[in-house]
Structure 1
Amino acid sequence: MRTQQSGRVKDHALSLVFAAAFILTLIGQSIAGLFDHNEDQLTHGGPVSSWWEFVTSSEFVVDVAENWQSEYLQFFLFILATVWLVQRGSPESKKTGDEGVGSDEDQLIGEHARDDSPAWAKVRGFRLWLFSNSLLIMMGTIFVLSWFVQGLAGTTVTNSENALHGEPPISFGEYLLSADFWNRTLQNWQSELLAVGSMVAYSIFLRQRGSAESKPVGVPHRLSAIESD
């Protein structure tokens, strides 16, 4: 039994490690953010907040949501772009000539499906279309929802600040057109796009032995990991 449990943990180690790291950093952000918030409140003679009050506040939610939406936008764009675009020599790309959605035979769908293929890969119609695009749909949905939450929370934060300065509140639509919203949004988008672009380009010429995100060390720069098989 212990061996089986150890095997299951090993099989899912990558997901488990990143899930744990995510939770730890989110907790760390909430604690650091609470201290920063309360320090600012004391400076201005305002009341301090408990940890729970802070993590359920719009101030914390807007910071979390703006990071999530940029991350999922990154994945959404990269998944979509790699269907049609290639980068010669990058393990993050298909090889030149393989642009597009691929044939049914290549994708193992319909009559070309294997016995152990997912059930919706063996059918036709809407279910096959939905399953064939499910990863892009999921990433896009999370992006839109987190962007929407960022807008709502940002509106609340802005109106709280306006009230302190005797200014009138603004609507959700007005906040979406504001400089604050787009400053928060674009500074995250550019960093994510830089990271993805750098990964694609650096992986052509640089290696990390043993990583699934790298070509084997001895593979020529001009070849992708797929071409080297």
Structure 2
Amino acid sequence: MKKLLRDNGLTIVLMVCFLISLIGMIVAGLGSYNSELAEHSAQGVGLAAYLRSGQFVSALFENWESEFLQMAAYVVFTAMLFQRGSAESRDPDDPERPDDKLPPWPSRTARWFYGRSLGLALAGLFVLSFLAHWHGSLAAANEDARLHGTPAHSALAYLGEAEFWFESFQNWQSEFLSTAVLVVLSIWLRHRGSPESKPVASSDSETGA
């Protein structure tokens, strides 16, 4: 068990942090949602109903959407672009890695997909999260329309609504900014023991971890 925890400690701690944050989001969100319903003289909902509500689904997946977009873009961009001196980049003067050759599979298509499987998987998770955010945001908008006695939105018409894109872009911009900050700060700053940092004694001009 000790070896299992040691070998998987990073994933375990991150997932525990995720679950604690998710529970906090649910508890706070349920209270906020019921307060909003009370302001409109509507009956509050229980936990199960809240988890099915458009407000919760939209809030959950608009964040997942931005995170998977960030990671997909990061994986793909770092395969094509460089930042000299950054731990997050390959060396522009020596970009090839010895173990990057594709395995000798018989199918060229299989080799192509395997060689890009991480970026494709993250892009697929982004698309699924985007669709779930769209569904949840639409449901939330129609719940709000019902409370205010206004017409409901159709799914396609809602794609043109500024509110939906505001929800996405407010998260996307922060993800790209934080990634750019990490790339640039890793040129000059260090964190001992982290693979996201160059070794402490490395020069600022050295590129790669």
Query: 1:136 deviation in Å?
Result: 0.7
**Alignment match, 2:78:** 82
Q: Find 1:139's aligned residue among 114, 122, 130.
A: 122
Superposed structure 1 runs of 4+ greater than 3 Å apart: none
Is residue 61–residue 150 contact of structure 1 (8 Å, CA) maintained in 2? yes
Distance 1:43 1:170 in 2: 23
Contact 1:216 1:225 in 2 (8 A): no
Whether 1:107 and 2:90 are equivalent positions in the alignment is: no
8 Å CA contact 2:53–2:139 kept in 1: the answer is no
Higher relative contact order (CA 8 A, sep 6+): 2
Which protein is bigger by CA-based radius of gyration?
1
Kindly tell me: are residues 38 and 166 of structure 1, through their superposed partners in 2, closer, same or farther at Cα, counting changes over 3 Å? closer
| Counterpart position of 2:111 | 128
Is 2:20 the counterpart of 1:20? no
Whether 2:191 is the aligned partner of 1:198: answer: no
Deviation at 1:123, TM superposition (A): 1.2
Matches of 2:123 and 2:115, distance apart in 1: 14
Corresponding residue for 1:210? 193
Show the counterpart of 1:116: none
- Show structure 1 runs of 5+ residues with no match: 110-120
Structure 2 match to 1:151: 134
Q: Gaps spanning 5+ residues in structure 2: where?
A: none
CA contact 2:54–2:143 (8 Å) conserved in 1: no
Per the alignment, residue 160 of structure 1 pairs with 143
Residue number in structure 2 paired with 1:114: none
Q: Which position in structure 2 is the counterpart of 1:118?
A: none
CA RMSD of aligned residues (A): 1.5
Q: Distance in 2 between matches of 1:174 and 1:133?
A: 34
**Aligned to 2:92, which of 74, 90, 96?**
96
Q: Distance in 1 between matches of 2:41 and 2:167?
A: 27
Q: CA deviation at 1:108?
A: 4.2
TM-score (norm 2): 0.94
Matches of 1:48 and 1:163 in 2, distance apart? 15
Identity across aligned pairs (percent)? 34
For 1:185 and 1:48, how far apart are their aligned partners in 2? 28
Given that 2:85 and 2:207 are in contact with CA atoms closer than 8 Å, whether structure 1 keeps it comes out as: yes
Tell me the number of residue pairs that the alignment of Structure 1 and Structure 2 aligns: 208
Aligned to 1:56: 52
Structure 2 CA distance, aligned partners of 1:166 and 1:40? 15
Q: Report the residue type matching 2:19 in the other structure.
A: I
